[in-house]
Structure 1
Amino acid sequence: MQMPVHIVAAGGFVENTKGEILLVKTRRDGHWVFPGGHVEVGENLIDGVIREVKEESGIDVKVSHLVGISSNTATYEGHSGVKTVPTKVMFDFVCEPVGGKLTISDETSDSRWVSKGEVLDMVSAPALRTRYQAYLAYNGSVHYMDNITKPQFELKLERNI
């Protein structure tokens, strides 16, 4: 048996006191997304999401609670010399802003606060839209989703745990 390899990522649904959600625009493809990314070697999930939100948006956050876990079980050809991208496991946290100032980074070309009702008009990726809808529907249970994103989005399993 081959030792399993997974990419671990953490994302933040950052909501301010006005009920607005923090979005960042990626430089790679120009899409609006929630801040987050790969957890680094030796880094825990909480520190990872705090770092990613700060790096991508300039906003300092405090993590409140876990709202969702998603497994992207598709494997596909990578880029930059990566032969195969393995399963990615993403942990979505609700975060509260505690400081900082909106900015951009090497990875983002824009960052802004968006009303909850306008988020789905800006976020186009089906997996991100599904994760945001789980955030909106949060009832105290963690939302679990198994999906593939390539060649096209397919939701394979969805449940609350």
Structure 2
Amino acid sequence: MQMPVHIVAAGGFVENDKGEILLVKTRRDGHWVFPGGQVEVGENLIDGLRREVKEESGIDVKVSHLVGVFSNRAPYEGHSGVKIVPTKVMFDFVCEPIGGELTTSDETSESCWISKEQVLDMVSAPALRTRYQAYLDYNGSVHYMDYITKPKFELKFKKNI
């Protein structure tokens, strides 16, 4: 059996005291997303998330609680000698802004605060919309979902744990 290879990522639903959500627009494809990304070697989930939010938006955050764990089993192109990465595992957390100023980065062309009700008007990717809905539906139980994004989005399994 080949040793499994996974990408581990953390995403943040950053909500300010006005009830607005932080979104960033990616330079890669021009889509609006929640800040977050891959956890680097030697980094834990919380530190990785704080770093990603700061890099992508300029905002410093305090990570509050886990709302969901998501497995995307659609294969991705690898790097560093790995040809295909079979699964991406994402941990989504609620975050509180504690400083910094909105800015952009090499990865983002825009960043903004948007009302909770308008987020789904801006976020188009089905997987991100599903993860945002899990955030909205959070009631103290962590959501677990398994899906694929290629050739099209398909939710395979869903459970609260």
**TM-score range for the pair, normalised by the shorter chain length:** over 0.9
Match of 2:109 in 1: 109
What is the aligned length? 161
Q: Distance in 2 between matches of 1:103 and 1:114?
A: 15
> Percent identity over the alignment?
86
What SS is found at the alignment partner of 1:96?
strand
- Tell me how far 1:80 sits from its aligned partner: 9.9
**Contact 2:26-2:32 within 8 A present in 1 as well:** yes
Query: Are residue 40 (structure 1) and residue 40 (structure 2) matched?
Result: yes
Over the aligned positions, Cα root-mean-square deviation in angstroms equals 1.5
Q: Distance in 1 between matches of 2:33 and 2:27?
A: 11
- Tell me how far 1:100 sits from its aligned partner: 0.2
Q: Distance in 1 between matches of 2:20 and 2:158?
A: 26
- Tell me how far 1:50 sits from its aligned partner: 0.4
Taking the TM superposition and a 5 Å limit, the aligned residue runs for 1:13-52 are 13-52=13-52
Query: Are residue 65 (structure 1) and residue 65 (structure 2) matched?
Result: yes
- Tell me how far 1:38 sits from its aligned partner: 0.2
The worse-fitting range, judged by mean Cα deviation, of 7-16 and 81-90 is: 81-90
Cα separation, partners in 2 of 1:103 and 1:30, compared to 1, 3 Å: same
- Tell me how far 1:127 sits from its aligned partner: 0.3
Which one-letter code corresponds to 1:24 in the other structure?
A: V
- Tell me how far 1:75 sits from its aligned partner: 1.4
Which blocks of at least 5 consecutive residues in structure 2 are unaligned?
Answer: none
Normalising by structure 2, we get a TM-score of: 0.96
Q: Distance in 2 between matches of 1:76 and 1:40?
A: 17
Normalising by structure 1, we get a TM-score of: 0.96
Query: Are residue 94 (structure 1) and residue 117 (structure 2) matched?
Result: no
Cα separation, partners in 2 of 1:52 and 1:96, compared to 1, 3 Å: same
Cα separation, partners in 2 of 1:3 and 1:82, compared to 1, 3 Å: closer
1:104-127: CA deviation from partner (whole Å, max 9, x where unpaired): 000000000000000000000000
- Tell me how far 1:85 sits from its aligned partner: 3.0
**Contact 1:76-1:150 within 8 A present in 2 as well:** no
